[in-house]
Amino acid sequence: MPSIGILIAFATTEGQTRKIARFAADHRTGLGASVELLNAEDAEGLNLARFDGVILAASLHMGHFQKALIGFAKANGAALTARPSLFLPVSLSAVGDDDAGRKGLEDCVAQFVTETLWRPGQIRQVAGALHFKEYDFFKACMMRRIAASKGKALGAGGDMDYTDWPGLEAGLTAWQVALKSGC
């Protein structure tokens, strides 16, 4: 029985979405799938016909996803929609019980779907991380202020990973059901 071929394309700014995409790749590989992990910046001309399913992951910054992933989804909207797919929007807005933040993230995802014409089979919001070593002085100040306004504790060095890894694994496992059914 041939293995299922999965494309995991991602776009990242500070690296957390890459880490999430690698986790998804390891998860899928552990279930016997053949996985191609690809930065969306390198996806031009990719033939999606060779994949049975697709996972796209992108981080949301200041209300926008990375241009590389938007371009990839726009260029391949019909092909992406034609196969089982999962979209992992990564954002600090997915942390905790902040209904306004989650609503804002949902609005950004809806705008992304409208703009790209890709209709993901499933969408699973994923909480991101704060990586202060990646920020310039002004962004670090802004991110500390945002974290404080939401009552979020920061680690000793300031960095904090808010990703719910067991929840992400459960979401990937649930997507496997859709993949097997061809939806």
pLDDT digits 0-9 by tens, 56-74: 999 988 788 999 999 999 9
* Pairwise CA distance, residues 173 & 46, whole Å: 26
* pLDDT attached to residue 37: 94
3-state secondary structure of 103: helix
Map tokens 């002085």 to a residue: 137
Q: Count other Cβ atoms within 10 Å, centred on residue 76.
A: 22
Domains of the chain: 5-128+163-181 (3.40.50.360), 130-162 (no CATH)
CA-to-CA distance for 164 and 38, rounded, in angstroms? Answer: 23
Which residues have CB under 8 Å from 22's CB, separation 6+?
37
d(CA 100, CA 94): 10
For residues 87 and 80, give the distance between their C-alpha atoms in angstroms, rounded to a whole number.
11
Whole-model pTM? Answer: 0.86
- Percent of the chain with pLDDT strictly greater than 90: 47
Taking only the tens place, the pLDDT of each residue in 120-175 is: 999 998 888 877 777 778 777 777 776 666 666 665 566 777 788 999 999 998 88
Q: Do 111 and 142 touch, CB atoms closer than 8 A? A: no
CA distance 22 to 52: 18
